[in-house]
Amino acid sequence: MINSKPYVIGIDMGGTNTVFGIVDARGVVLASNSIKTRKHSNFNDYIDELSFELNRLIASIDAQEKIFGIGVGAPNANYFTGKIEDGVNLPWPTPIPFAQLLSDKMKLPVAITNDANAAAIGEMTYGAARGLKDFIMITLGTGVGSGIVVNGQLVYGHDGFAGELGHVIVKRNNGRLCGCGRTGCLETYCSATGVARTAREYLEMSDTPSLLRELPIDEITSKDVYDAAIAGDKLAKAVFDYTGQVLGEALADFTVFTSPEAFVIFGGLAKAGDLILKPIRESMEKNMLSIWKGKVQVILSELKEADAAVLGASALGWEAKPMAAPEATIAPEATATV
């Protein structure tokens, strides 16, 4: 029997844009569009605009009865509760009952999770992690996110928040201040922001000549460091070496936890390719417990940059289940199966 609902919708809600697309079972994005995330001061108005645009997109490809479900990747989104939880930089009061409101409006099942988990599901469904049952997705963007897959299932933990590997403490003493209020978190070193911080430290603490000295020091970005490194700048290369070293040490530690077959690197910094991959791999191997030496791969995401977030979110759409009535509490048992 041919599936009468052969498509899913993937929504990637970022701090600036909300991108969405209609995706088929093979991961082809059939149609996509976006809206501004921060246009409305009321979250219901945001959902109204999003639903309106989703319906327009559906109509544009005559897919009115063909949508199986909707998957959403959003910052701090909790798979169990369907809500965007506290501690997120969005213009609405939290928790935000995203899944419930969108489901009510669209009359479709909606599943949400955070962006890194969505990326992991996308990679497992369509990307570099196809066929892998145990892997860890590491997203290197403004922060460091992660999605952990064990035995083919995404790890949500008892409360839906598992996989915050960007907040493992990698420098116990004298570590950098993190947005979470603590010091020494992995993401203060290995995010795009961390790379820029390292560059600034290197520039301030040495006299090594560098192309980066031509830029105002406070405005240096990871992209500047990348451009300089590609141009042969030694200091910029050293910044990537250090970033890779710290991340490699962390990956060796992560390995003893779930013994993944691979780490899949995703996000802005992944574009640095071997500049970052080589020092990551060297440092990971050097620090690896002997039983895993030479056994764990570090690979780049294979999802196309433009589609990745929407594809990842859409893959979750296949698992979306009809929501309970608005007032009902959603028990973890009801939604915990991936």
Residues that bind a copy of itself (CB under 8 A): 85-87, 132-134, 148, 150-151, 153, 155-165, 167-172, 180-182, 249, 252-254, 256-261, 287, 289-292, 295, 336
Residue that the structure tokens 């990637």 belong to? 12
Distance CA(36)–CA(160), nearest Å, equals 27
User: 3 or 151: whose CB is closer to a copy of itself?
Assistant: 151
The closest alpha carbon to 266, from 9, 73, 21, belongs to 73
Nearest approach, Cβ of residue 94 and a copy of itself (Å): 12
Nearest approach, Cβ of residue 162 and a copy of itself (Å): 4
User: 230 or 289: whose CB is closer to a copy of itself?
Assistant: 289
Q: 222 CB contacts (<8 Å, ≥6 apart)?
A: 192, 193, 195, 196, 268, 269
- CB count within 10 Å of CB 266 equals 30
Nearest approach, Cβ of residue 129 and a copy of itself (Å): 12
Nearest approach, Cβ of residue 305 and a copy of itself (Å): 27
Nearest approach, Cβ of residue 199 and a copy of itself (Å): 22
Cα dihedral sign for 255, 258, 264, 266?
negative
> What are the backbone angles phi and psi of residue 297, rounded to the nearest 5°?
-85, 150
- For residues 96-126, one letter each, b for 16 or more C-beta atoms within 10 angstroms of the residue's C-beta and e for the rest, the string is bbbbbbbbbbbebbbbbbbbbbbbbbbbbbb
User: 111 or 170: whose CB is closer to a copy of itself?
Assistant: 170
The closest alpha carbon to 65, from 106, 35, 100, belongs to 106
Strand (E) or helix (H) holding 68: strand 67-73
Output the DSSP codes for 112-144: EE-HHHHHHHHHHHHSTTTT-SSEEEEEESSSE
User: 171 or 213: whose CB is closer to a copy of itself?
Assistant: 171
User: 109 or 166: whose CB is closer to a copy of itself?
Assistant: 166
Nearest approach, Cβ of residue 242 and a copy of itself (Å): 14
Question: Dihedral through CA 131, CA 136, CA 140, CA 144, nearest 10?
Answer: 150
User: 90 or 132: whose CB is closer to a copy of itself?
Assistant: 132
Distance CA(307)–CA(312), nearest Å, equals 8
User: 130 or 182: whose CB is closer to a copy of itself?
Assistant: 182
User: 187 or 307: whose CB is closer to a copy of itself?
Assistant: 187
Nearest approach, Cβ of residue 168 and a copy of itself (Å): 5
Nearest approach, Cβ of residue 258 and a copy of itself (Å): 5
The closest alpha carbon to 136, from 128, 81, 280, belongs to 128
